[in-house]
Structure formats: structure tokens, C-alpha cells
Copies of this chain bind each other. A is one copy, B any other.
């Protein structure tokens, strides 16, 4: 469950190359770094190994936490690498959570 008023950041991207070890290590590092930030709630990242299209959804306590994360130096450097080579295209959508629910087999 994600609390109402939390912020969702939906990051969609397509990789230009399937096996770039530097990309892979940076992606892992960014997830690790995000988890350390104040206001971080959770992150889920899934990529299709065939189309190389991926979605990362992260949740944050508030807008301030999102804006701060966007400006973390090591993250800024990674964003630049993404724009200039790793991704053929990407998009970011920021949205404010209104409700959530979940279920599963027990």
C-alpha cells in the first residue's frame, strides 16, 4: 500500500545496447543511492530483455524528496550518461497518489 499524497515517479526508457556493464552497474548503484534518500518509499524496475524497454516506478514521501533526488550529484551524472548514450528515448511522469490497493493468494 502506498499512502495517498505520496509521489510516484514513472520513468520509462529504451536502452540502446543490451549488454553494457557500465550501465548495469550504474543502474544498480542508482537504485541503492535512491534507497538511502530521505523520503524514499520504494522502487520497482522491470525491463524487457528483448525490446530493451523498461519501466522504473519509484515512490516518494513528497515533491521535495523527488526534487532533491533529481539533484543528487551522482544521480545528475547518471542522468547525463542516460541522455547522451544509454537511452534511445526516455520519459518521466510525476504523479500524486490518490489511492492504492493490493491483493494476493494466501
Residues of A1-53 whose CB lies within 8 A of B: 1-2, 7-8, 10, 12, 16, 44, 46-49, 53
Checking B16, B46, B98 against A47 with a beta-carbon cut-off of 8 angstroms, the contacting residue is B46
Residues of B within 8 A of A54 (CB): 46
Question: Are B95 and A8 in contact (CB-based, < 8 A)?
Answer: yes
CB of A88 closer than 8 Å to a CB of B: yes
Q: Copy number of this protein in the oligomer?
A: 2
Prevailing SS type, chain A contact patch:
strand
Q: Interface extent on A, as a size class?
A: 35 or more
Known: A49-B49, A55-B44. A91 touches B99 (CB 8 A): no
CB distance from A81 to the nearest CB of B (A): 13
When C-beta atoms are compared, the residue in chain B nearest to A66 turns out to be: B98
CB distance from A13 to the nearest CB of B (A): 9
Task: Sample 18 A-B pairs with CB under 8 A, ordered by A number.
Answer: A2-B93, A7-B98, A8-B8, A12-B44, A12-B57, A46-B53, A46-B54, A55-B55, A57-B57, A87-B105, A88-B104, A88-B105, A90-B102, A90-B103, A90-B104, A92-B102, A94-B98, A94-B99
